[in-house]
Amino acid sequence: MDRPRPLTEDDLDAIDTLRPHDWPPYRRTFERYFALDCVRPWAFGGPDGLVAMGTLIDFGKTGWMAQVITSAQRRGQGWGSKMVRFLLDQAQGMGMHTVSLVATELGYPLYAAAGFRVEGEYAFWTRSTPAPALPEASAELKAWSESYGPRCLVLDRKASGEGRAPYLRHDWSQGYVVPGEGYFLPTVGEGLVVAKNRRAGEPLLHRRIDGASRVVVPLENSWAPVLLSSRGFALEKRMRRMVWGRSLRRRPEWVGSRIGGNLG
């Protein structure tokens, strides 16, 4: 097992055995990965016993490292370091100048040793029961249509500092927009909310919160915590965002709800 192998749909059951118990099921995430050319999942081991896995998401000159996990029985043997080094080698070979990730407490020392540095944090807001839905009150909210796509991609590039169109286009069939100022895409990861200002962001985040018990927001966002608190959420924990290579020019204060731990 000197070199990892590409994961395939035949590995779906084995993939979920590596997932930490407090993380959501992986099956839907990896089914989506296998349908996208920009996502490359890898693993050490066979379908009957994965030792470690990791994913590289490719946006051209930038990318993300995600789901770097070692089997509990094989931790401390260097498999995580091997996977991180392999994924970084892949990224450099593809011409990436920036690789980002979200680090757990367990993974942080591994990534720091590989040359990643902290560039922000995410705040995890939770409540014990799903938030009751509120009536739609903002006349500015418009139902999603493909015609809004180009303007939303412009906003997303400014907010993220990346060209995430290949990932977003795959699953943006529904949602809400405040034309030219923000959008909520409920089927993209955890439910992506991006808005240039509080006026546009609050009605979008209200729709994201309806029925939710967890929302994850960049620490730089000042308006989302106020709204989340008003709807019964409390700050549970924080998690570091890390980067290898060049820093991205991004606007994390525009993000009212992230995509997920795989893409920020």
Q: Spell out the per-residue pLDDT of the chain, length 264, in tens.
A: 578 999 999 988 888 888 777 777 788 889 999 999 999 999 998 666 889 999 999 999 999 999 999 887 888 888 889 999 999 999 999 999 999 999 999 999 999 999 999 999 999 999 999 999 988 766 688 999 989 999 999 999 999 999 999 999 887 888 999 999 999 999 999 999 999 999 999 999 999 999 999 999 999 999 999 999 999 999 999 999 999 999 999 999 999 999 999 999
The pLDDT value recorded for residue 45 is 85
Say how far apart CA 147 and CA 47 lie, in whole Å. Answer: 42
Say how far apart CA 229 and CA 222 lie, in whole Å. Answer: 12
The pLDDT value recorded for residue 46 is 66
The pLDDT value recorded for residue 135 is 84
| DSSP sequence for 62-90 | EEEEEEEEE-GGGTTSSHHHHHHHHHHHH
The pLDDT value recorded for residue 77 is 85
The pLDDT value recorded for residue 74 is 83
CB atoms within 10 A of CB 193: 31
Query: Which residue ranges make up each domain of the chain?
Result: 5-96, 125-257
Determine the residue type at 224. Answer: A
Cα three-residue angle 116-117-123, rounded to 5 degrees: 115
The pLDDT value recorded for residue 148 is 93
Cβ burial 100-121 (10 Å sphere, 16+ → b, else e): bbbbbeebeebbeebebeeebb
Q: Which fold has domain 5-96?
A: Aminopeptidase (3.40.630)
CB atoms within 10 A of CB 34: 13
The pLDDT value recorded for residue 26 is 82
The pLDDT value recorded for residue 194 is 98
The answer to whether 193 touches 208, Cβ cutoff 8 Å, is yes
Q: Please state the pTM of the whole predicted model.
A: 0.94
Q: Which residue has the tokens 């994201």?
A: 208
Same fold? 5-96, 125-257: yes
Question: Burial, 252: exposed, middle or buried (Cβ in 10 Å; 0-12, 13-18, 19+)?
Answer: buried
The pLDDT value recorded for residue 127 is 98
Q: Which fold has domain 125-257?
A: Aminopeptidase (3.40.630)
Q: Which residues contact 213 (CB under 8 A, 6 or more apart)?
A: 126, 127, 128, 129, 130, 131
